[in-house]
Structure 1
């Protein structure tokens, strides 16, 4: 019944026949700007995680304090995520992208004040880093929620999953760049000012392009039937519909938990590996393999789903395989001198885990249609941030201090290095449990695709009737 209601709503609001649908070439410029923003924001988020020990030594703070530079993204995104969904579905895509670009740029510039020697900041320098991270964190929900909205408003139905995949995967691309660039730029703590300056360049570039290059809220002519009713449900009505939608809630809990786990893995990877004797460069390489293979997996799965529309089957298989990879990593990371095995397991974890991300975002729209794309994806992201904060706090609480460890490559604080064996095993167990829950309990209809099919059939029938009506 829900699919029929969605189709009816679509039919009422799609006055233009399919022949009038049009895809504009400037959609690729919009996609490029969103990609650059997403990539830059992820780079700002993960700037310090690959060099956490050197950051702690440079600013004379603890590793736990350095972790707050990443965790603040999660905390701020929880309340502001709801605001971001309202901005996207009520104010529009252009406002969301431009606003996020300015917040992202202001954050990147604010961070640079922490290393300006002439200010003589002393112990206050850390707070410039923290405030800058807060501005960038405000931009994150607006950026991350944009891909599904952009794909729905500007791309035809046969390109939606691919466009969403490209825009969404620019976020892990930023993680990849940070994992490779931060250790390369900061062999010693004194090079942190150079790193902050380089990371500000893409943020400023994205802000200029977004401000000067994006002029329209929506395209003059929609690219698909569903785009004509993309804003059909008021924000609070959409929220109520989502909270009553059982498949959507299951997807939000499981997929949100998956995002939270990947967030923790990316932010804590260097600390997990250094206690076992692995260098920052090797941790950065593992993070890079994790992300590169994830991008490849997302690209291949996005192309496959665009052709087959097998959203559910693809996400269930990928979730199970990523759970197996997480178990392999949890076991392997307990031992030293396992560089090749760790690299393989990180690659597999990324390949299957990241592949789920863009497909699950599209699936969220499919199972919640006609709720706005910003609201349906935004609520999942808010859930992922809540779960990510809980996981970050839980995993750090489960660590054990190792006062004297001759194999550790960590820059030790006063309490010594941290043993992450128990937290990593807990993370693998949670990933496996959520995968099983998702496979068993998640089932849904593809409401948007069903509505578009009915609308197209009705339009064809009307054209056929018109063609056979004799002229008077």
Structure 2
């Protein structure tokens, strides 16, 4: 329990880091892809552990050996994080957003987030989506075994869910980096996810539907799991200039809270199966009927999606700020009010001849002669 508690504490420092890393170290046309790689590394590690653990552990005596093997990647990550990382930011910010990524304090940033209607809708709805997927992943084995599916098949469905989620995130990250269609990609992905959840709620209560369930779990990962990195970028865009860690981290916090509530609700709605039992569950208890719970899960996913699609709309504030920042030097150079007398170009103006020596190297403002000053002021006014 102490080890699990330490891992949980560490998760709060790591879970929101991909959005911050992408914002500080990558330009705007690479941020979504960088965020995707950082975000998907977490489920990739879960997938590797879920595949490797059964291969390493054949008896109870093998568990210490498995834990010893897992110390190696943990120690390597600790070494890299403490010895090889020396800089929090690059020497030169890759974008205007990176230069302003820490412009708001944490508490003031939280206040701005609460007052941001678009962000509140996104956080509640996608946080609910995280809760739905967390409940789905945690209860998948119990749901399927009650209808005669083996634990190995449940593990295969979980693996397909993660693999297709990573594949979809890769493709979607590259797409939104080029098109900036964060909102459109999120809404379409969640709509397809809701339809797939409805299909899972119905098919999971039937026997002998291995191929259909495997395909549905793959589509759940492809449509829903892959949207997570895009939503993290969208949260930063709609809440700029609030720090990326605060805007992305708050969504994950809400997702964990909603996940706990949804999981408790789903388990409370289960009832003992009264009909013929096809259960392969190994808990030694009577099989449970998950029909109502699965319909509720699909309904919650559909509700969160509908609210997001109908009510969420936001400008991309960070991209707008970066666009204004990149164009402001040119605008300032064209503004006559920002032209000093020493920067006046030698234009040929009819009826106005500069005094002798005026086109030579311009002196400093303090040493301008009266003739030079009058000529420069006239030129500035004409421009």
* TM-score where L is the length of structure 2: 0.84
Q: Against the structure 1 CA distance between its residues 428 and 303, is the aligned structure 2 distance closer, same or farther, given a 3 Å change threshold?
A: same
Correspondence for 1:333: 204
Matched, 1:439 2:309: yes
Gaps of 5+ in 1: 1-129
Which of 167, 170, 176 aligns to 1:299? It is 170
Q: Against the structure 1 CA distance between its residues 277 and 469, is the aligned structure 2 distance closer, same or farther, given a 3 Å change threshold?
A: farther
- Following superposition, the deviation at residue 378 of structure 1 comes to 1.2
Gaps of 5+ in 2: 347-360, 363-383
- Cα distance in 2, alignment partners of residues 190 and 404 from structure 1: 39
Correspondence for 1:423: 293
After TM superposition, the structure 1 = structure 2 runs for residues 283-432 of structure 1, keeping only pairs within 5 Å, are 283-402=154-273, 407-413=278-284, 415-432=285-302
Report Cα offsets for 1:301-331 as digits up to 9, x if no partner. 1111000001111100000000111111111
2:161/2:219 contact within 8 Å kept? yes
- Following superposition, the deviation at residue 162 of structure 1 comes to 0.7
Tell me the number of residue pairs that the alignment of Structure 1 and Structure 2 aligns.
342
- Following superposition, the deviation at residue 416 of structure 1 comes to 3.1
1:155/1:163 contact within 8 Å kept? yes
- Cα distance in 2, alignment partners of residues 420 and 183 from structure 1: 27
Q: Which structure's CA Rg is the greater one? A: 2
Mean Cα deviation higher: 179-188 or 341-350: 179-188
Report Cα offsets for 1:104-142 as digits up to 9, x if no partner. xxxxxxxxxxxxxxxxxxxxxxxxxx2221111111121
Correspondence for 1:20: none
1:180/1:285 contact within 8 Å kept? no
Structure in which a larger fraction of residues adopt helix? 1
- Following superposition, the deviation at residue 469 of structure 1 comes to 4.5
Report Cα offsets for 1:182-236 as digits up to 9, x if no partner. 4444455554334333333322211111111101122221111111111101111
Report Cα offsets for 1:256-281 as digits up to 9, x if no partner. 01111111111121111112221221
Which of 17, 37, 62 aligns to 1:146? It is 17
Q: Against the structure 1 CA distance between its residues 419 and 194, is the aligned structure 2 distance closer, same or farther, given a 3 Å change threshold?
A: farther
Correspondence for 1:160: 31
Mean Cα deviation higher: 310-319 or 189-198: 189-198
1:256/1:384 contact within 8 Å kept? yes
Which of 84, 98, 108 aligns to 1:237? It is 108
- Cα distance in 1, alignment partners of residues 328 and 272 from structure 2: 67
- Following superposition, the deviation at residue 464 of structure 1 comes to 6.5
- Following superposition, the deviation at residue 170 of structure 1 comes to 1.0
2:277/2:287 contact within 8 Å kept? no
Root mean square deviation, CA, Å: 2.0
- Cα distance in 2, alignment partners of residues 266 and 237 from structure 1: 35
